Chains A and B, each alone.
Chain A
Amino acid sequence: MADHVHTTPEDEHDNAYAGLLVNDAHWAFGTDFEDPLAGVDTTIPEGVDAPTLAAYALMLGDDALVMSHRISEWTSNAPDLEDDIALSNISLDLLGQARLLLARAAKADESVVPRLPDGSPAPPEDALAFFREAHDFRNVRLAELVNGDFAEATVRVLLFSVWRLATFERLRSSRDHVLAAVAAKGVKELAYHRDYSARWFVTLAQGTDESRRRLLAALDELWPLWPELFDTHPVEAAAAESGVGVDPASVREAAEGVLDQVLAAADVPRPEASRRAGVLGRTGRDGMHGEPLSRMLAEMQSVARAHPRGQW
């Protein structure tokens, strides 16, 4: 790096960057990929089926990854600087959760990780994020929708974080050490995401006619995907049965209770729209997604796929 910057003693005091180059070693970060679970007890608890644990971790990881990417699209586009930073921070929290959960899936069952060309430095969690097709993703459909206006982001983050926080509150007592640790950390982050979006929900509902109209429109649009969050997929049932996972149906009452508090504070009635059907009964957890996910992944994965041996 120092080779590219030439300074002479005379002009050094005019160069704001000169001081930064005294010890280059300090800036040589982010150059290696290390196992994010190094030092964490990844033993599979007794009586737990490894492929079930991996499939369950992929579901939670994909929810976080896809939602994170959608929220990251708000960066530099939010209505003001504070909300830009808030949304970017929410996106970053979810990306951190996704990394650990995808790494956990790979550690539990290597066979879920796509095979990359020899010499690729991509760690398993990156292989899972960047080299799977849309139908291999197990995220709920709420996460993948194309972004709408700020009211839509508010409602989506609210529904997602109310549900995920209720899930993580229980996941803290998972028999799997990694899932329990991710959940213990995640509840602090999700509590912020939930309260942030709940405050905006109330503010927009009680704001101007236009802000309330937009909020109600967003709620009507997203409401049909709310029931899907509480469906129990056979993998989730098996994970819950063996004490590593949480049955989504079991958190419905807690999540609905919190959502009702927000709706009451905002003076917004519960929408009546019925649930969006799956395709032949299959939904996000089965790998059945809408076209928006394919388009999102095409952009998100393009650089990694073009340079599978790339280092940066």
Chain B
Amino acid sequence: MGMRLMSRTTERARRVAERVTDPELPMLTLADLGVLRDVDVVADSHVVVDITPTYSGCPAMATMRDDLVRELQGAGFDRVEVRVSLDPAWTTDWITPEGRAALAAAGISPPGPAPSTSGPIPLTLLPTARQVRCPQCDSPATELVSEFGSTACKAQYRCTSCLEPFDHVKEI
């Protein structure tokens, strides 16, 4: 296979992989979430995909892997290898602008900038203070209901202007 042909095949595999959505945030693709790190066609119909887990014990990882394998095999790539890339660790900063827009459109407040985790991490005895705007009416008047929402990676908030409850993706 020539170089030119290979890169076109890689491009095609990448487009297929980029369509796969997150099992818990189905409005978001794995690419938008920043979980999909690399897609490479290493030999004839053999694709290697690198993904980075969001949390160490994330129960959705096996589903993500199976979804990638199914979609790529359906597109004619017989051998699909999904590798785990642990370093650097995933951060919500990797969620793309498109992903953030998709979250907001679905009524979920996207995460703010992730806190720095280099050096010793200072103790925080006060609840996490975030500037969260309501995804429905854009009001900044919101209050935290619970540090856990519909999934462990989201906190639940309430808008004190329009009174709608909503999820906020927590910064990590």
Contact = CB atoms under 8 A, between A and B. Distances in A.
Interface stretch (B59-67, B93-101, B102-110): B59-67
A187 B121 contact: yes
A86 B148 contact: yes
A39 B23 CA distance: 22
Given A93-B57, A180-B87, A202-B125, A29 B148 contact: no
Given A28-B66, A185-B86, A199-B127, A169 B56 contact: no
Nearest to A196: B147
A81 B148 CA distance: 9
A187 B120 CA distance: 9
B147 to A, nearest CB: 7
Given A30-B62, A198-B123, A39 B147 contact: no
Nearest to A201: B125
A186 B56 contact: yes
B55 A39 contact: no
B65 A34 contact: yes
Given A36-B84, A38-B84, A199-B127, A85 B89 contact: no
A181 B89 contact: yes
B50 interface: yes
Interface stretch (A4-12, A127-135, A258-266): A258-266
Nearest to A84: B148
Contacts of A39: 50, 83-85
A178 B148 contact: no
Interface stretch (A95-103, A146-154, A281-289, A297-305): A95-103
A261 B65 CA distance: 43
A39 B37 CA distance: 12
Interface in A186-204: 186-189, 191, 194-195, 198-199, 202
A92 B84 contact: no
B56 to A, nearest CB: 3
Nearest to B89: A185
A85 B67 contact: no
Nearest to A25: B70
B126 to A, nearest CB: 8
SS class, residues of chain B in contact with chain A: loop
B82 interface: yes
A188 B87 CA distance: 13
Contact of B147 (A26, A82, A194, A198): A82
A177 interface: yes
Interface in A28-42: 28-32, 34, 36-40
A40 B63 CA distance: 20
A18 interface: no
Interface in B32-69: 50, 53, 55-59, 62-63, 65-67
B117 interface: yes
Contacts of A166: 120
A182 B53 CA distance: 11
Contact of B89 (A99, A184, A194, A198): A184
A214 B159 CA distance: 36
B67 to A, nearest CB: 7
B16 interface: no
B102 to A, nearest CB: 19
B85 A40 contact: yes
Contacts of B58: 96
Interface in A76-130: 81-82, 85-86, 88-89, 92-97, 99-100
Contact of B123 (A28, A82, A182, A262): A262
Given A34-B82, A187-B121, 15 more contacts: A28-B66, A30-B62, A38-B81, A38-B84, A81-B146, A82-B147, A85-B146, A92-B152, A96-B55, A96-B57, A184-B117, A185-B53, A188-B172, A199-B125, A262-B125
13 contacts: A30-B62, A34-B65, A40-B85, A86-B148, A89-B148, A89-B152, A93-B56, A96-B58, A99-B57, A181-B89, A188-B117, A189-B56, A194-B123
Interface of B: 23, 50, 53, 55-59, 62-63, 65-67, 70, 81-90, 117, 119-121, 123-127, 146-148, 152, 172
